[in-house]
Structure 1
């Protein structure tokens, strides 16, 4: 089942430009089970549509950390569109 989740970038290192957004989006899209990804440097939010049978929120968060951004879940997973 498709779920949506929102992460917030926290800490000193923040997304600052389109390149930052693209780096996060590209990193998440390589994970099996991830569908739509939208990163927004202005709001420091990352929205992800994913298949919970293939990947969980912890794996998504870890991938964001590997791109250089500490994060937290802004809202729990919910049914996607």
Structure 2
């Protein structure tokens, strides 16, 4: 079953350009179970659709944290 979640970036490292968006999208697309991801510098949000049978939201948050992005899940 698929689930959608949005992460808001709340730390000092921000998405500042399309390059940052692409980097984050590339990091998350490497996760098994990821179906769709969109990072938005304008809103400082990352939306991801994933398969709950293969991936957990905590693993997504951990990957973002490892990349230096402090986030908060919105949904």
State if a TM-score over 0.5 links the two structures.
yes
- Paired residue for 2:30? 30
Which residue of structure 2 aligns with residue 3 of structure 1?
3
Once the two structures are TM-superposed, the CA of residue 66 in structure 1 deviates from its matched residue by 1.6
**Structure holding more strand per residue:** 1
- In 2, distance between residues paired with 1:65 and 1:26? 15
Q: Output the aligned Cα RMSD.
A: 0.7
Mapping for residues 64-75 of structure 1, pairs under 5 Å: 64-75=64-75
- Segments of structure 1 that go 5 or more residues without pairing to the other structure are 76-81
Deviation at 1:45, TM superposition (A): 0.3
| Structure 2 residues not aligned, in runs of 5+ | none
Q: Which residue of 2 aligns with 1:15?
A: 15
Shift of 1:21: 0.5
Q: Deviations over 1:25-76 (max 9, x none)?
A: 000000000010000011000000000010100000011112221001011x
With normalisation by structure 1, the TM-score equals 0.89
1:62 pairs with 2:62: yes
Count how many residue pairs are aligned between Structure 1 and Structure 2: 75
CA contact (8 A) 1:33 1:50 kept: yes
